């Protein structure tokens, strides 16, 4: 039987660095030694790519929380007004922003909306 061994690379996107060779018990690391290459940031990058856009979460100094900045597929930029208590909370908020600011936020939408005067309109602003 012939076997071929492949050299492992970091699981973050197109990174070609080798994973960290840790001696901790349990599952070996899938990521290299770059601090921004980890499971959490890989998830956010994958989610942002699927939603169409980019997002970044930054931890504030002195454990003051996490802030997010994002650009949706439609070009709209945004950021969190207040620091989030956890990375997961900041990622949730960034993901919601990306969902709202995709290429066509009303694709498949059939719900009526209200315009500034309170009248019901379709997604293009035409009166119903």
Q: How far apart are CA 22 and CA 25, in angstroms?
A: 9
CB 87 within 8 A of CB 59: yes
Determine, yes or no, domain membership for 17: no
Question: Could you tell me which residues come within 8 angstroms of residue 125 by beta carbon, excluding any fewer than 6 positions away?
Answer: 115
Task: Give the predicted TM-score (pTM) of the model.
Answer: 0.57
Q: Determine the structural domain holding residue 52 and report its residue range.
A: 27-128
Other C-beta atoms lying within 10 Å of the C-beta of residue 124: 7
Look at residue 63 and tell me whether its pLDDT is greater than 70.
yes
Determine, yes or no, domain membership for 40: yes
Q: How far apart are CA 57 and CA 74, in angstroms?
A: 20
DSSP 56-93: EEEEPGGG--EEEEEEETTS-EEE-SS-BSSHHHHHHH
**What pLDDT sits at residue 4?**
42
Determine, yes or no, domain membership for 39: yes
**What pLDDT sits at residue 6?**
56
Determine, yes or no, domain membership for 20: no
The string of pLDDT tens digits covering residues 10-58 is 888 788 999 988 777 888 888 888 878 888 878 887 777 777 888 888 8
Q: How far apart are CA 107 and CA 96, in angstroms?
A: 16
Structural domain count, the chain = 1
Mean pLDDT of 66-90: 89
Determine, yes or no, domain membership for 22: no
**What pLDDT sits at residue 67?**
93
**What pLDDT sits at residue 79?**
93
Look at residue 106 and tell me whether its pLDDT is greater than 70.
no
Determine, yes or no, domain membership for 109: yes
Question: How high does pLDDT run on average in the chain?
Answer: 81
**What pLDDT sits at residue 105?**
59
Determine, yes or no, domain membership for 8: no
Determine, yes or no, domain membership for 7: no
């Amino acid at each position: 039987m012939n076997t071929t061994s492949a050299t492992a690379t970091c699981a973050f996107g197109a990174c070609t660095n080798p994973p960290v060779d840790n001696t901790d018990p349990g599952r070996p690391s899938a990521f290299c030694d770059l601090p921004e290459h980890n499971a959490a940031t890989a998830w956010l990058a994958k989610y942002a790519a699927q939603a169409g856009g980019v997002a970044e979460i930054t931890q504030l100094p002195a454990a003051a929380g996490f802030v997010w900045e994002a650009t949706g597929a439609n070009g709209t930029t945004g950021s969190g007004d207040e620091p989030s208590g956890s990375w997961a909370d900041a990622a949730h908020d960034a993901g919601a922003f990306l969902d709202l600011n995709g290429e066509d936020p009303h694709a498949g939408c059939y719900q009526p909306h209200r315009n500034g005067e309170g009248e019901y309109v379709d997604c293009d602003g035409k009166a119903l």
